[in-house]
Amino acid sequence: MIDVYAPYRLFNQNLRAGMMIWDVQTVMALRLMGLAGAWTMPPGEAVRMVTEKPPAFAKAWTAWQTAMLSGRGIEAAGHAFNAPLSRKARGNRRRLTRVKTRTGRT
């Protein structure tokens, strides 16, 4: 039997990955501007950007392993791996974009 929804699911997975990549690039740019002094960062952001990665990747890896070992398939495993990282990147982007620049403009 032919799976007619396979292209849609592939597009959906790629769209989710693209949204995560957009969030990650935005966070990286804002943090680099903050370290350079062009953007106001919350206190402790330099430490946070290093310490938040191992737990996020551990959650993603655990979710991926659980999906694979339970037999849910590679598509579900990819989504399980992407979900915790996307949540973390989206949260960081939202938090960092609420900070105002040094000139007082948002």
Q: What are the pLDDT digits (tens) for 15-62?
A: 999 999 999 999 999 999 999 988 888 889 989 999 999 999 999 999
What is the Cα–Cα distance from 91 to 99, expressed in whole angstroms? Answer: 13
Neighbours of 96 (CB within 10 A): 20
Give the model's pLDDT for residue 104. Answer: 56
Report how far residue 75's alpha carbon sits from residue 20's, in angstroms, rounded to the nearest whole number: 17
Cut 0.85: pTM above it: no
In terms of pLDDT, which residue wins out, 4 or 100?
4
Q: Cβ–Cβ contacts within 10 Å for residue 82, how many?
A: 18
The span from the CA of 55 to the CA of 25, in Å, is 20
pLDDT at 4: 85
What rounded mean pLDDT belongs to the chain? 89
